[in-house]
Amino acid sequence: MKSQGVAFLPLEHRSSISEYETPLITTTGDSLTVDFESTITPIVLIFIPNINIDAKWIQKGLTVAGGHGEGEKLHKLYEPYNVSVYDHQIMYICDEHNHRIVEWRIGDTHGRVVAGGNGQGKRDDQLNGPLNLILDKQTDSFLICDCGNKRIVRWPRQNGTAGETIISKVSCDDLAMDKDGYLYVSDHQRQEVKRWKIGVTNGVVVAGGNGKGNKLSQLDYPTSIFVDQEQSVYVSDNHNHRVMKWKKDTEEGIVVAGGHGRGNNLRQLSCPRSIIVDQTGTIYVVDQFNHRVMRWLKDAPEGNVIVGGKFEQGEEQLNYPSGISFDQENKLYTADRHNHRIQKFNILNPEDQDGQTSAKQKVEKHSEFFAETLHMSDALRMPTHGKTVAGGHGQNHGNHQLSKPEGIFFADEQTMIIADSNNARIIQWKIGDDEGTVIAGGHGIGEGLNQLNIPTNMLIDKQTNSLIICEWGNRRVVRWSCLSGTTEGEILFDDIQCNGIAMDHQGYLYISDTEKHEVRRYQMDQKKGTIVAGGNGKGSSLHQFNFPTYLFVDQEQAVYVSDSSNNRVMKWDKHALEGKVVAGNHGRGYNLNQLSYPQGLSSIHR
């Protein structure tokens, strides 16, 4: 039996563009034969995350699939084992004990079965405990690790009713493919990882294969694997509670995480599962029995917990997680197995979404929004030296200090309202004063009505004498009265990854959503709003955005948007179906025709 195509790696494994020939695959028994004579040549996109070593994730996870208890209905999952994010919007979930692969679009309330789902079994139309998959985009099919049936099957992605076995008699826990199209499979019964090369009939052991044990040449129940650009193989050595790295053509591995016995201190792991290695060599590993995801910097003696660590069902907890995936904005997705759900953890700093910002490149963003249209002469020139009017005393929480201020709003000529982002507060500061006054938040990071979480921008609604605040970290917009003595706010809109906010002269509210790549206009009594810019998915076309941040609305209700990751500013006229570029759009850079992650903006009337 023959099948054609080389598998695409899941999104978290892609990092560069390469070309290679795609062989025909033939199987006999437990061997794989690759026919090099009949080939096609696809373009393969391989993404390996590039994540800042200081990156942090919001600890409150969002349930994006399942979460309704175990079950077989399409809004439920039953111990999902792995998740792969594809094209930013689609997750493919190995729903292990429902014996099926589920496609689930982010934002939907239910998924659809794309493989299996016909009960537990070994027929061609059945699966038995699938644990992982990779996508062959050339043939638009999945390669599935069908663990309970000890086989790897190919299954058409569109309207597939049955699969075909391409490898049998293998106790597979995971599979991967490198940039040259070689297939890697872990076998927990033979305690090895094999690679099938082009032109040979039998796989080659590339890790383990020396019996069960804890020597550097051995493995004990290998589960998840990851293959880097140098064809080094990383292996979750589950019962040895360590992650091993086997360089190409070596006879033993090296311990790169754990290896100090089973435990829960930062030097230890407990039955590790899914692993991802980014471009810097940092390892991200699911520490399953410690209910956490850990990050292990290259050559570090210990790791640190990035999410989880508590054995619970809450939004900040995980319950025997098994799989992880990153999207291209470095949002973390976890298969929270015993909670029967997929959790998404947003990255904490918006400016680090693409992982490109280094510690030296991070600068405090001072975004400006003005309530009234500015009138300035063409001849006006700004001074070349600035004067500090707020903060400047280091990054801390004193009232004379700021910590990563984001939006700024002038209540009058002498009074600034500042979104003191990392201090989770809004602070009022009169020009000439040595310190400000907290007028919203200031009770620590949290989701209580007296708390804020990464406020990014705000404005004053003079009609109600209140602040309207974008809370990026809590995914909500809140109203906070300006009256003295106010101790908490009220939620106006939630479930929106808001970053920028503006109001037009008719009192309509405009909010940017960095997750849905759109701007919506709201009446105060509306909950859904109307899309006025973007809303066509992430992209660089004139009808799209890529991480829209700050806004300005002019007197004609045209919307100006900082299209941050496209390094441009767009103007969308009222009722327009697409915008036009008014600044930048010549790539990221520091030339005078370029921008680099634009944020705050205003428009000047002449």
Higher pLDDT, 86 or 256: 256
Q: Label each residue of 152-209 as H, E or C.
A: EEEEECCCCCCCEEEEECCCEEEEEECCCCCEEEEECCCCEEEEECCCCCCCEEEEEC
Q: What is the mean pLDDT of residues 143-153?
A: 95
Q: Phi and psi dihedrals of 225, rounded to 5?
A: -135, 155
DSSP letters, 469-527, are: EEETTTTEEEEEE-STT----EEEEES--EEEEEE-TT--EEEEETTTTEEEEE-TT-S
Q: Is 241 left (phi over 0), alpha (psi -120 to 50) or beta?
A: left
Task: Give the pLDDT of residue 482.
Answer: 80
Q: Residue 72 is which amino acid?
A: E
Tell whether pTM > 0.85: no
Instruction: Output the six-digit token pair for 482.
Output: 């300006």
pLDDT tier at 101 (50, 70, 90 boundaries)?
Answer: very high
Higher pLDDT, 419 or 27: 419
Task: Give the pLDDT of residue 220.
Answer: 97
Residues 138-165 as b/e (b if ≥16 CB within 10 A, e otherwise) read bbebbbbbbbbbbbbbbbbbeebeebeb
What's the rounded Cα separation, in Å, for the pair 109 and 128?
25
- Identify whether the C-beta of residue 28 lies closer than 8 Å to the C-beta of residue 198: no
Instruction: Output the six-digit token pair for 246.
Output: 């086997």
Q: How many CA atoms lie within 13 A of 310 on its CB side?
A: 9
Q: Label each residue of 517-560 as H, E or C.
A: CEEEEECCCCCCCEEEEECCCECCCCCCECCEEEEEECCCCCEE
Residue 29 has pLDDT above 80, yes or no: no
Task: Give the pLDDT of residue 251.
Answer: 94
Residue 346 has pLDDT above 80, yes or no: yes
Instruction: For residue 385, give every residue at least 6 positions away whose Cβ sits within 8 Å of its Cβ, in sequence order, or none.
Output: none
455-461/509-513 β-pairing: unpaired
What's the rounded Cα separation, in Å, for the pair 277 and 9?
14
The residue with tokens 């040449």 is: 217
Sheet containing strand 518-522, strands side by side: 498-503, 509-513, 518-522, 530-534
Query: How many C-beta neighbours within 10 Å does residue 587 have?
Result: 13
User: CA torsion sign, 276 to 281 to 282 to 287?
Assistant: positive
What's the rounded Cα separation, in Å, for the pair 541 and 581?
10
Q: Which among 272, 252, 274 is positioned nearest to 206, based on CA atoms?
A: 252
Q: What is the mean pLDDT of residues 389-398?
A: 87
Task: Give the pLDDT of residue 484.
Answer: 65
Residue 99 has pLDDT above 60, yes or no: yes
Residue 387 has pLDDT above 60, yes or no: yes
Long-range contacts of 352-356 (CB under 8 A, 24+ apart): 352/52, 352/55, 353/329, 353/514, 353/547, 353/565, 354/50, 354/328, 354/329, 354/330, 354/565, 355/49, 355/50, 355/51, 355/52, 355/55, 355/278, 355/330, 356/50
Tell me what the pLDDT averaged over the chain comes to. 84
What's the rounded Cα separation, in Å, for the pair 104 and 111?
4
Q: What is the mean pLDDT of residues 237-258?
A: 97
Residue 349 has pLDDT above 70, yes or no: no
Query: How many C-beta neighbours within 10 Å does residue 17 have?
Result: 10
Q: Which among 321, 334, 231, 346 is positioned nearest to 277, based on CA atoms?
A: 231
pLDDT tier at 461 (50, 70, 90 boundaries)?
Answer: confident
Q: What is the mean pLDDT of residues 413-421?
A: 89
Residue 203 has pLDDT above 70, yes or no: yes
Percent of the chain residues topping a pLDDT of 90 = 63
CA dihedral 90, 94, 97, 100 (to 10 degrees): 70
Q: What is the mean pLDDT of residues 92-97?
A: 97
What's the rounded Cα separation, in Å, for the pair 404 and 389?
15
Task: Give the pLDDT of residue 207.
Answer: 97
264-286 pLDDT, tens digit per residue, is 999 999 999 999 999 999 999 99
- Using DSSP, state whether 351 is helix, strand or coil: helix
Q: What is the mean pLDDT of residues 400-425?
A: 89
Lowest mean pLDDT, pick from 369-383, 421-435, 552-566, 575-589 = 369-383
What's the rounded Cα separation, in Å, for the pair 433 and 399?
11
Task: Give the pLDDT of residue 181.
Answer: 81
Q: Which among 201, 207, 139, 140 is positioned nearest to 176, based on CA atoms?
A: 207
pLDDT tier at 395 (50, 70, 90 boundaries)?
Answer: confident
- Identify whether the C-beta of residue 205 lies closer than 8 Å to the C-beta of residue 222: no
Q: Identify the helix (H) or strand (E) that includes residue 84.
A: strand 80-86
242-246/233-237 β-pairing: antiparallel
Q: In this structure, what DSSP letter does residue 413 have?
A: T
Q: Identify the helix (H) or strand (E) that includes residue 145.
A: strand 141-146
Query: All domains of the chain, ordered by start, with CATH?
Result: 56-349 (2.120.10.30), 405-584 (2.120.10.30)
pLDDT tier at 200 (50, 70, 90 boundaries)?
Answer: low
Percent of the chain residues topping a pLDDT of 70 = 83
Instruction: Output the six-digit token pair for 515.
Output: 């997750």
